Chains A and B, each alone.
Chain A
Amino acid sequence: MSVNTLFPALLGGGARRSLTLLRPVSCGVAIVACLTITAEAATAQSSTIVLSGDPPPLIVGTAIAGDQPLPGIDGSTIYSVTVAAGEKITAFIDGAMPPGVTLEVTLAAPQGAVSVGPVVLTTVPQDVVRSIPAGTFSGLSIRYTLRATVAAGVVSPRWRVVSFAVVAGP
């Protein structure tokens, strides 16, 4: 009896799969055959987003007398994205910002897409780029803006992890 007959369900349509029967291992009164099932996924293109790295620290440290503090801004990082169909990019942070402090992000849109920014980041995913056509796009800018009111006071150095995801949707 071949393994292909024994496990027809595992060799169904869709993704290509194969079964490889390894050497039997003696185990007392029974012989147990170890099976390695190698599955090869379908060759459809996966959506990906790749970032160039982390931005340098954002600092709010000065103001024009009489006005709120001036924002800290960075635009040194970039991203690349590959999408298989009309998709969008969402973003969120892993924790709330301190009171009176906001972190905004603006992603440059690939050709044919729409940038929603600047988006004030929260712990809830929000659209930052919409209607991305199928294809691969690279060298797109990411701009962060840190804002603080005087009421925020002095805030010691800390961080937030920003998560970007390519998801289905317009």
Chain B
Amino acid sequence: MRISPTVYAVVAFGLPLAGNAAAQSLQTVTFQIDPINQISVSGDPGALVINTAVAGSAPTPVSNTATTWAVTTNQTGSKVTAAIDAPMPAGVTLSLSMQSPNGATSITVALGTVAVDAVTGITKLSESGKAVTYTLSATSTAGTVSSASRTVTLTMIAGS
């Protein structure tokens, strides 16, 4: 029987040179952006005092524009509501008007203990220094009212 010669199988391959390979390492960074709705006011307005009238007319209303408000939201259609902590005396009305930020709508409201919309349609913005106007009005039948205070609560309601 003829014996076949030994055959060597040669597998060609290459070897990378050591010492110059770039080392690499990985990190997985997880992140998220949550809904954000923030509102602030600059402080309390000065006292509102009705003490004059044009003869033959109701007492002259008084206004205060000393305070401002600021807002940040990353949502669409957020709004601000307003309410006071106790009813006004009979014949006396406290009104609020908040300067609207860009693209939003301002509503002049007579404040009561039930929250009402004061600014609507606030969408993805951050603005500050917006005017807050309080107006106190009284009818003659309100008579004299001794000094009193009310706490106004402004609430930002999240949009979508």
Bound together, the chains give a CA A51 to CA B32 distance in angstroms of 23
The total of chain A residues at the interface (CB under 8 A) is: 76
Please tell me if the beta carbons of B74 and A66 are within 8 angstroms of each other in the complex.
no
Bound together, the chains give a CA A72 to CA B92 distance in angstroms of 48
Please tell me if the beta carbons of A55 and B27 are within 8 angstroms of each other in the complex.
yes
A150 with B73: in contact, given A59-B31, A72-B31 (CB under 8 Å)? yes
Please tell me if the beta carbons of A154 and B126 are within 8 angstroms of each other in the complex.
no
A65 with B74: in contact, given A59-B32, A164-B25 (CB under 8 Å)? no
Bound together, the chains give a CA A31 to CA B33 distance in angstroms of 67
Main secondary structure of the interface of A (DSSP, over half): strand
Which chain B residues (71-95) contact chain A, with CB distance < 8 Å?
A: 71-76
Q: Does A140 contact B (CB under 8 A)?
A: no
Q: Does B56 contact A (CB under 8 A)?
A: no
Please tell me if the beta carbons of B30 and A154 are within 8 angstroms of each other in the complex.
no
Please tell me if the beta carbons of B32 and A65 are within 8 angstroms of each other in the complex.
no
Please tell me if the beta carbons of B32 and A157 are within 8 angstroms of each other in the complex.
yes
Please tell me if the beta carbons of A33 and B29 are within 8 angstroms of each other in the complex.
no
Bound together, the chains give a CA A119 to CA B71 distance in angstroms of 30
- Binding stretch for chain A, among B9-17, B112-120, B144-152: B9-17
- In the complex, what's the smallest C-beta–C-beta distance from A22 to chain B, in angstroms? 11
Q: Which residues of B contact A (CB under 8 A)?
A: 4, 6-11, 13, 15-36, 38-40, 69-76, 124-129
Q: Which residues of A contact B (CB under 8 A)?
A: 3, 6-7, 14-15, 17, 24, 29-35, 37, 39, 41-51, 53-69, 72, 77, 79, 82, 84, 93, 98, 101, 103, 142, 144, 146, 148, 150-168
